Structure 1
Amino acid sequence: MIVWLNGTHGAGKTTTAALVQQLLPDARVLDAEKVGEVLMDITPGLPQTDNFQHWPPWRPLVVETARRVLSYTGGTLVMPMTVLVESYWREISSGLAEYAIPVRHFVLHADRTVLHDRIMSDTVMGPSRFRLSYLEAYDEAARAWLHDEADVIDTALIPAEQVAQKIADAVLRQA
């Protein structure tokens, strides 16, 4: 099974993924951003883009990487990754479905003010205009399709440990 943690920058995906991994038996974290980093390291570089998700190989490579890891290890993959383009989500989720890999899709949500404050006060990554630039795209995706496709958990008022517990409880109830 895959537990996909979606949401924009500052929602708490990375922190929550590590906590969820500790709560689920045989769980591992697979950050699909690492697949993008592999593509970014190709020389000479792939065609210029502002987001590696726009490169057509990224999406099937995420599917294939997850499939191969699950085939090798079994268990659950917790995947913290923002996907705001509906067609990209459909490509990934249908690719996983072709391999009969169940996906529990969660969106970690917080209002724009909370996200802005988290991004600008991030002590690990530092303030980031790049990360702020995705807030509008997240709002649009949330209104158009994203919140209809997932279990939405508001992370603004509860600590990451409680968010992780909610996710783990939902996954374990389904099992």
Structure 2
Amino acid sequence: MIVWINGTHGVGKTTTAALVQQLLPDSRVLDAEKVGGVLMDISPGLPETDNFQHWDPWRPLVVDTARRVLDYVGGTLVMPMTVLVEPYWREISAGLAEHGIPVHHFVLHADGDTLRHRIDNDAVMGPSWFRHAYVEPYLEAARTWLHDEAAVIDVTHATPEAAARQIADSVLAPAG
């Protein structure tokens, strides 16, 4: 199975994913951003873009990479990755479903002011124009489709540990 942790840049996906991995038996983290990094290293040849998700190969490569890793090692993949474009999410989730891979989709959510404050005060990365550029697209996706597609975890006042525990408890809860 896949535990997909969505949300905008700077909300805590990577930190939370590492903690979720510690709580779920036989799990490992697969960062789909690294698939984008592979594509970014192809030069010249790919069209100019501000986001590797716009390249058509990225989405099926994410699906195929996840499928092949699961076929090889089994277990659970915890995938922290922002996907804010609805057709892109539909393509990825449909591709995973075609391979019979169940996906537990979570969105880490904080309001716009909280996100901007965290981005401006990030002790590791410092202020980031890139992260700021995705606050409004995230809020729009949250209003229009994203929160309907996932379990929303409000991290405005929650620690990454609390968010990870909530995700793990949800995944491990008996179905029914």
TM value normalised by structure 2: 0.97
Moved more, 115-124 or 59-68: 115-124
Q: Quote how far apart the aligned CAs of 1:45 are.
A: 4.0
Q: Deviations over 1:90-116 (max 9, x none)?
A: 000000000000000000000111111
C-alpha change, 1:174 and 1:104, in structure 2 (3 Å) is: farther
What secondary structure, in the 3-state scheme, does the structure 1 residue paired with 2:173 have? helix
Structure 2 residues without counterparts, runs of 5 or longer:
none
Rounded to whole Å, the distance in 2 between the matches of 1:174 and 1:95 is: 25
- Taking only the aligned residue pairs, the percentage that are identical comes to 75
What secondary structure, in the 3-state scheme, does the structure 1 residue paired with 2:124 have? coil
Matched, 1:22 2:22: yes
Q: Deviations over 1:66-125 (max 9, x none)?
A: 000000010000000000000000000000000000000000000111111111111222
Rounded to whole Å, the distance in 2 between the matches of 1:25 and 1:45 is: 41
Paired residue for 2:120? 120
Rounded to whole Å, the distance in 2 between the matches of 1:43 and 1:139 is: 33
Paired residue for 1:111? 111
Paired residue for 1:95? 95
Read off the aligned partner of 1:54 and give its amino acid letter. Answer: H
What secondary structure, in the 3-state scheme, does the structure 2 residue paired with 1:138 have? helix
Structure 1 residues without counterparts, runs of 5 or longer:
none
Equivalent residue runs for 1:1-175 within 5 Å: 1-174=1-174
Rounded to whole Å, the distance in 1 between the matches of 2:84 and 2:174 is: 26
Rounded to whole Å, the distance in 2 between the matches of 1:143 and 1:126 is: 28
Alignment RMSD (CA, Å): 0.9
| Count of residue correspondences | 175
Read off the aligned partner of 1:159 and give its amino acid letter. Answer: T
Q: Quote how far apart the aligned CAs of 1:23 are.
A: 0.1
C-alpha change, 1:118 and 1:47, in structure 2 (3 Å) is: same
C-alpha change, 1:54 and 1:174, in structure 2 (3 Å) is: farther
Q: Quote how far apart the aligned CAs of 1:65 are.
A: 0.3
Rounded to whole Å, the distance in 1 between the matches of 2:148 and 2:44 is: 40
